[in-house]
Amino acid sequence: MGDTLKIVFVLIAIALIVNVILAVFVVFSERRKPSSTWAWLLVLFFIPVFGFIIYMVFGRDSRREKLFADKDKFDTKVYFDYILSNERYMKKLMWQKKAIENKQDITQFKYLNDLLYLNINTGNWMTENNRVRRFVDGNEKFETLINDIRRAKDFIHIEYYIIRNDKLGRKLVSELAAKALEGVEVRILYDGMGCIELPKHFFDELIKAGGHAVAFLPRLMIRINYRNHRKICVIDGKVGYIGGFNIGDEYLGIVKRYGKWRDTHIRIEGNAVDQLHMRFIMDWNFTSKSFPVPIDDRYFPPKNEFSGVKMQIVSSGPDTVWKNIRNSYFKMINEAEDHIYITTPYFVPDDSIFGALKVAALSGIDVRIIFPGNPDHMFVYWASMSYLGELLKAGVRCYQYEKGFIHSKFMSIDGIVSSVGTANMDVRSFAVNFETNAFMFDEDITKKLEDDFLNDLESCLEITSLWYENRKWWFRLKESVARLISPIL
């Protein structure tokens, strides 16, 4: 018995020593933000052994620095080489830079100059002739997408975080295989972790028909971080899709667990499709070395002229120097004068966004946030709830969506500027996931999106200060724990 206890004590001592060594590594080697460092230290010291496993899956940067720094350099070179060699893009880019330098008001909106300052140096120039159709229902979105796929003549390029092995997923693959048999070029880029449940031969029908399917950071790289969360589709270089819908039956609202699925997606025609397509090509060529997409005019055909929406396609992630989407959100919030509407399935903001929202509300601006009352990730829900106390005190109005699950990633400012895309209002989307959003400078489309938001309020429970103060003790405990380690979510 005595020897057994000695062995146990030795093992405990070894585990503690390993934890201390790893803690020192986290503090001194990885140069994290203080909030993230303290969160990991708590995990490592209070959950011995298992904390180490959690860190290896969620926290270790691995080869991130070199891998994604190289991608950023490659993307920048490919992007700008093409832009600088193409007269139609160069004229637009130089016009916008000159307007900014001369402090001209390019449009009626002050917001435009601010976001151009943020993004023009990453190639996200302002496009003007865009026609936009929005979707809030998955059935309508996927019916329209499949019809566009059936009309494709040259190529179909698709990039999704999740593709399910269910009725919708199999139908999409069959439709794409049929087009590949017709000679249409078909490429699918899917996330290795988001699609980890797909069977090994799921894409065989497409591949046998001549199409291509490649995993972004495949499942063998057991990493929760650095996921490709983008949802992009480009057809013949003329039609593009971006938004919150992944591919699966739950997005049609027919999975009992979630019930009605509320999301936002847009279909784009016009010059912004080129930016969306360049994003796909950069991601595809980073992932697939065997079947790269060349940067040539075939993939960026001339567009029809629309008197339509001004738009930028903005991407960010571990492969960008700046947090472009977070910075754009921050700038929009600071420029608001009347109201800010936000819908997000996950609300775990960083300090800058959190502070900006409180200051806006304290300044008398009408700030409203919708998030799910029927969450798909309870831990994130508890973390989200922990932020509400301060927001409510500042005057922010917070709502839980009760009619199914709301997955929309939307923000609008003053009825003038709006954003729809893949980025949630959380630290994961801001820093460790690959995201893409459309920023639109147009009163008509923004009004439609705001009308959708106001309609959603009818299906919400408003979280009042009284409701929040009456939370059960166990609810508060869950919030506290989730908030404490939210920097590593």
- Catalytic residue numbers? 229, 231, 236, 407, 409, 414
Helical H segments across 102-189, by residue range: 110-119, 138-150, 167-181
CA atoms within 13 A on the CB side of 101: 6
**CB atoms closer than 10 angstroms to residue 98:** 10
Q: Please choose, from the candidates 268, 331, 284, 357, the residue with its C-alpha nearest in 3D space to the C-alpha of residue 116.
A: 331
Contacts 24+ apart (CB under 8 A), 468-476: 468/388, 468/389, 468/392, 475/382, 475/385
- Would you give the DSSP letter of residue 58? I
CA distance linking residue 12 with residue 49, whole number of Å:
10
CA distance linking residue 454 with residue 126, whole number of Å:
28
- In the three-class reduction of DSSP (H, G, I as helix; E, B as strand; rest coil), residue 126 is classed as coil
Q: Please choose, from the candidates 228, 215, 240, 212, the residue with its C-alpha nearest in 3D space to the C-alpha of residue 299.
A: 240
What separation in angstroms does the CA of 332 have from each of 110, 285, 291, 405, 411? 10, 32, 39, 26, 9
- Which amino acid is residue 132, in one-letter code? V
Tokens (6 digits) for 439: 């920023």
What separation in angstroms does the CA of 396 have from each of 44, 361, 393? 35, 6, 7
